[in-house]
Amino acid sequence: MSSNKDFPELNTLDNDGVRVIVRKCRDPGTENGAILTATTSFWLSCTPQHAFNFLKDNSRRFQWDILCEGHHQVEELHRITYGTNPGNFTSIIRTLNPEDKDMRILQECYANGMESGLGEEAGVSCEGSVVTVAYQLLIGTPAEIDNPDLDAVKKMNKFVTSTVNNIRHALKCSSF
């Protein structure tokens, strides 16, 4: 069973609406602990296919993923494809940085059947995409859920906001 602790003070428009939650994990088959999750969804002014292709391209991951900055190479250890779209998959990735030898990145790539996303602002149509970014980190024992390390909370918030800014910059998309 899991229980959550929310940090609404980090849930502001100033930082792209990042939501940070700490939850207790005692699920069978997983390591017991407090898991910190930071996530946000945001708009990109490019086609969904362009955004999807960019984000799933491991050779360009260093351009947007804060965990891969400075390390241009990553290795995909395993990929599980699902659904009817061959571009829908979950993969386990690691950076080729010796300092991060124990870190693994779990990436889920999923595109629904929509060919494009359309929005309208003041009568002007614009094409775009909604992207969700999330990071999770095991931060300690289940007992630490009531008093988590606020530096870890701030760090995760920075991971998400930096990643969003990196994606926007790499794809030359403004923040709408």
What pLDDT does residue 148 have?
66
Q: Please tell me whether residues 133 and 91 are part of one structural domain.
A: no
Q: Please tell me whether residues 137 and 95 are part of one structural domain.
A: no
Q: Please tell me whether residues 173 and 136 are part of one structural domain.
A: yes
Tell me which residue range forms the domain holding 37. Answer: 1-47+129-176
- Using the predicted structure, report yes or no on whether residue 77 has a pLDDT greater than 90: yes
Number of folded domains that form the chain:
2
Tell me, yes or no, whether 2 lies in a domain. yes
Region 120-133: mean pLDDT is 69
What pLDDT does residue 117 have?
41
Last residue of a domain, one of 88, 115, 142: 115
Tell me, yes or no, whether 122 lies in a domain. no
pLDDT digits (tens, 9 = 90+) for 5-62: 555 444 433 445 888 887 777 777 777 777 888 899 998 888 888 988 899 888 888 8
Q: What is the pTM of this model?
A: 0.76
Tell me, yes or no, whether 76 lies in a domain. yes
What pLDDT does residue 28 have?
78
- Does residue 76 contact residue 92 with C-beta atoms inside 8 Å? yes
